[in-house]
Structure formats: structure tokens, C-alpha cells
Amino acid sequence: MNVANKTIVITGVSSGIGAETARCLRAHGARVIGVDRNEPSITLEGFVKADLSEQAAIDAAFAQLPERFDALCNVAGVPGTAPVDLVARVNYLGLRHLCGRALERLPEGGAIVNIASILGAQWPERLAQHKALAEAASFEAGLAFLARHPVPQETCYQYFKEALIVWTVTQSQRWFLERGVRMNCVSPGPVFTPILGDFVQMLGEQRVQQDAHRMKRPALADEVAPVVAFLCAQESRWVSGVNLPVDGGLASTYL
């Protein structure tokens, strides 16, 4: 995996998939700058403490990042047990805003990787809604759109992961053609991370039991991280606009 001497920014770096992605990339020679609201427990080349739910805080954090970096991995996220407004801000609007800012510092050949979810797989059922939200280009315009089109608490996590997949895929080719920057999604299934319990609570025991036979077990974070790292590497230089499930085959059982 050719990421030697690349500088890569990872949000949500202090635990779970973010921490494992940092370990993987550093093991292959990359420099990792982390962004998180919590202090990291792993060695990094730099760290910025930030709340990614507010545009002003994202801009302040961005000002502390290197003048040039080679990839951005958006791993930070909150579960669907959090308030709808917070899920919207962190999992979609803030992420999208940071991607737009990153274009200022990513060179041609740079990469963006967004962590979506297997729970976003039903995006085709709401494609028109997600495209309309994608057209609300700014953070504030997105908030205004959602005020007019409220999202129910019980499905907010799925909704914004669907929206993220649609935005990533539809936006990716424009940026690839204009700037030479690739953007892709990785969609994990259940993963053994500190917030796995929140997902069980969010989905409910009945849904969890219904899906249990469809997979061998939840993933380990270090089974997802190398895929994220690969999408930052030179070997994936012709991969753009892809939503890649990393779920032990779970998605295949719904066909």
C-alpha cells in the first residue's frame, strides 16, 4: 500500500475505525493528523481538538491543519441515539463542509474517504429527497432545508447515512474532473467499537435478532481500517464515486 510520506487527516481519530485507520496508515509510512473532540491515546504526527457539529468550530480546526495534505478520512460520527440535529450536523452537514474546505489544500491525486454505513443501503427509496438536500450546498442552507423537511428521530441515522452516500457519489465526479481529487464511501456493517451498544439500542432487539443470522459476527475495527487506507493510497488512484460495503457479506443477504 503506497502511502509513504503522504500526510493524511483523520477525523474521529481517537477510537474505533479512526484510531485503527491511523495505525494502519502510519505503519505504511504516512503522517497522520488527527481531529477529534477527545484526546487520542495513539501516537500521531499532529492533533487538533474540535467539535465537528458547528461550522465555526470546523473552520477554526481547519485553520490548524497543514497547508497541504494528501487525503481526508471522515470517520467521526454520532449514533442515532443522539438528537436528530446533532446527527445531521456531525454525520452529514459538518462532514460535507469539511470536504469542501479540504479541496483548498488537497493536491491533484488527493483523496477523500467518507464513512457511511450498511444502514444507508436504502438510499434509492429516497433518492429525490437526498438529491434535494445535496443541492442545499452550505451548512446553513442544509439546516434550513432540514427545518422545512424534518427527519424522524427513529430513522435519522439511516437517513443521513443514505444522504451521505448520495452526496458523495453525485459530487465525486465533478471534483475528480475539476480538481483531480477522488471521493469515495466505505459502508461498514456492525463493528466492535465503543458505540456498538448505541446501535443495538437504536435498532431495537427485534431488528438485531432478525439480522443476527445474516452475518458471522460484527467486524473488528482493524478489518475496516485497511479498506479506508487503501482508498487513500496510490493503488486506488482510479477509484472514485464508489460506495464500498465492508460488512462480511451482510448486504448480499438482502438480494
At 165, which CATH number?
3.40.50.720
Looking up cell 442545499 gives 136
Model confidence band, residue 192 (pLDDT cutoffs 50, 70, 90) = confident
Q: What is the pLDDT of residues 107-146, one digit of tens each?
A: 999 999 999 999 999 999 999 999 999 999 999 999 999 9
Residue 41: what are its φ and ψ, rounded to 5°?
A: -110, 10
**157 noted as active-site residue:** yes
Q: Which domain holds residue 71?
A: 7-248
Q: Is residue 90 part of a domain?
A: yes
Cα 137 to its chain centre, rounded Å, is 18
Catalytic residue among 92, 157, 159, 254: 157
Which amino acid, one-letter code, is at 81?
Answer: T
Whether the per-residue pLDDT at 16 is higher than 70: the answer is yes
Q: Is residue 2 part of a domain?
A: no
- Taking the C-alpha atoms of residue 181 and residue 176, their distance in angstroms, rounded to an integer, is 5
Model confidence band, residue 215 (pLDDT cutoffs 50, 70, 90) = confident
Q: Is residue 213 part of a domain?
A: yes
What is the structure's pLDDT at 208? 60
Whether the per-residue pLDDT at 205 is higher than 90: the answer is no
With a threshold of 0.85, does the pTM exceed it?
yes
Q: Is residue 48 part of a domain?
A: yes
Q: What is the pLDDT of residues 157-181, one digit of tens each?
A: 999 999 999 999 999 999 999 999 9
Q: Alpha helix (H) ranges present in 51-195?
A: 55-62, 84-88, 94-102, 127-135, 139-148, 156-179
Q: What is the pLDDT of residues 52-109, one digit of tens each?
A: 999 999 999 999 999 999 999 999 999 999 999 999 999 999 999 999 999 999 999 9
Q: Is residue 204 part of a domain?
A: yes
Q: Is residue 233 part of a domain?
A: yes
In the chain, the number of structural domains is 1
Q: Which residue has the higher pLDDT, 203 or 19?
A: 19
